[in-house]
Amino acid sequence: MAIDPGSIQALTFDVFGTVVDWRSSIIREGEDRVRSGAIGWTKLDDPHRMALDQLLVDFKITGLSEAEIDHLNRAWHRLEPWPDTVPGLTRLKRRFILATLSNGNVALIVNMARRAGLPWDAVLGAEVARHYKPQREAYLTTAAMLGLRPEQCLMVAAHNGDLAAASSFGLRTAFVPRPTEHGPGGEADVEPARDWDVVADGFAGLAARLGC
Sheet holding 10-13, edge to edge: 122-125, 97-102, 10-13, 153-157, 172-175, 198-199
Closest CA to 96 of 12, 158, 171, 176: 12
The pTM for the full model equals 0.81
pLDDT in tens, 185-200: 778 999 999 999 999 9
Q: What are phi and psi of 56, to 5 degrees?
A: -60, -35
Q: Using alpha carbons only, how large is the chain's radius of gyration in Å?
A: 17
Residues in the chain: 212
Q: Where are the domains positioned within the chain?
A: 5-23+80-209, 27-77
Block means of pLDDT (10 residues each) for the chain, 212 residues, are: 89 93 49 61 73 74 77 71 96 98 93 94 97 96 98 98 98 96 83 96 97 95
CATH number of 5-23+80-209: 3.40.50.1000
Rounded to whole angstroms, the Cα distance separating 38 from 34 reads 6
59 half-sphere exposure, CB direction, 13 A CA radius: 7
What's residue 172's pLDDT? 98
Question: How many angstroms separate the Cα of 173 from the Cα of each of 28, 169, 170?
Answer: 23, 11, 9
Q: Is the CB of residue 71 less than 8 Å from the CB of residue 93?
A: no
